[in-house]
Amino acid sequence: MAISTRPTKKKALLIGINYNNSKTQEKLSTPHEDVAKLREFLIKQYGYSKENITVLLDKPGELQPTQKNIRQQASKLVAGAIPGDHFFFYYAGHSVQVRENCRPEDRTELDGMDEVMVPSDGHTDANNDEMTRQSCLVDNELKRLLINPLPAETSFTAVLDTCHSASLLDLDHDQCNAKWSCLNTVQLKKLVSLHKGPASPQLRQTNKGMRSTPLAKSGSGLR
């Protein structure tokens, strides 16, 4: 297989959902504002180029964070990744849990529950797991889209401002998943206050698997 000679890239996908037009989801007030601040932060403090940051917002004139668009943009984010590339993924919105729909021996969750990201056109029903699965994005799929394509020595940072964030990408969690490790949820205000240097949280896939590294160097790591 040919080795790519292109320069390494920094790419980001930022998703903010207020659910203003949703009939089933509680409305949120700050995701759009948080995405705007984070975009500016990545450009000014971490050297991301504007053309390499994709934003999905449920507001007029923006690329909508529907199930279809999130799938497409998640795939595009990591497509063609090479060692040395850096990827940043941010999600602010709702997440829920549904029961795993597989045989007990095929379960990947110790608690028997999958975590589910709710897109702007998603519908959730505590009494209808299948409807929730069909209209939302289950953690297994998010892992296939965002994590599995990464080659060794790429860097992937995920900031998930949502419920069930520690296992939303199906990574290691001390009470749920047994195979992966992941960063906990970080509020945007805390993230933006920690930028006096180049350090950043990383989920780095190496030949030994995923590992996490702290957000900042001096006592300001993720909580």
pLDDT at site 99: 66
SS (H, E, C) 170-207: CCCCCCCECCCCCCCCCCHHHHHCCCCCCCCCEEEEEC
In a domain, 5, yes or no: no
Q: Which residue would you say has higher pLDDT here, 117 or 189?
A: 117
pLDDT at site 107: 53
pLDDT band with cut points at 50, 70 and 90 for residue 97: confident
pLDDT band with cut points at 50, 70 and 90 for residue 102: low
pLDDT band with cut points at 50, 70 and 90 for residue 3: low
In a domain, 21, yes or no: yes
Q: Which residue would you say has higher pLDDT here, 188 or 96?
A: 96
In a domain, 146, yes or no: yes
Give the count of domains, the chain. 1
The per-residue pLDDT of the chain, averaged, comes to 76
Grouping H, G, I as helix, E, B as strand and the rest as coil, residue 147 is: coil
Tell me the mean pLDDT in the region 105-123.
Answer: 73
SS (H, E, C) 97-146: EEECCCCHHHCCECCCEEEEECCCCCCCCCCCHHHHHHHCEEHHHHHHHH
pLDDT in tens, 46-59: 999 999 999 999 99
pLDDT in tens, 13-39: 999 999 998 888 899 999 999 999 999
Q: Which residue would you say has higher pLDDT here, 93 or 23?
A: 93
* CA gyration radius, the chain: 17
User: Is residue 162 within 8 Å of 93, Cβ to Cβ?
Assistant: yes
CA atoms within 13 A on the CB side of 145: 21
| Nearest CA-CA partner of 113 in 50, 52, 56, 163 | 163
Which range has highest mean pLDDT (54-63, 95-104, 150-159, 189-198)?
54-63
SS (H, E, C) 31-48: HHHHHHHHHHHHHHHHCC
The CATH number of whichever domain residue 115 belongs to comes to 3.40.50.12660
Could you give the dihedral angle defined by the CA atoms of residues 78, 206, 110 and 117, in that order, rounded to the nearest 10 degrees?
Answer: -20
In a domain, 222, yes or no: no
| Nearest CA-CA partner of 19 in 32, 8, 36 | 32
In a domain, 151, yes or no: yes
Tell me the mean pLDDT in the region 98-125.
Answer: 70
pLDDT at site 140: 83
**b/e per residue 16-40 (b: at least 16 CB within 10 A):** bbbbeebeebeebeebbebbeebbe
pLDDT at site 23: 82
User: Is residue 29 within 8 Å of 38, Cβ to Cβ?
Assistant: no
User: Is residue 116 within 8 Å of 170, Cβ to Cβ?
Assistant: no
Which range has highest mean pLDDT (6-10, 64-68, 114-118, 186-190)?
64-68
In a domain, 74, yes or no: yes
In a domain, 149, yes or no: yes
For the record, the structure tokens of 110 come out as 């110790």
Instruction: Name residue, tokens 């590992």.
Output: 211
Q: Is 176 a catalytic residue?
A: no
Q: Is 163 a catalytic residue?
A: yes
Of the candidates 86, 94, 164, 173, the residue annotated as catalytic is 94
Instruction: Name residue, tokens 């900031």.
Output: 159
pLDDT in tens, 157-201: 999 998 876 677 777 654 554 443 343 444 444 444 544 444 333
> What residues make up the domain containing 142?
10-213
In a domain, 156, yes or no: yes
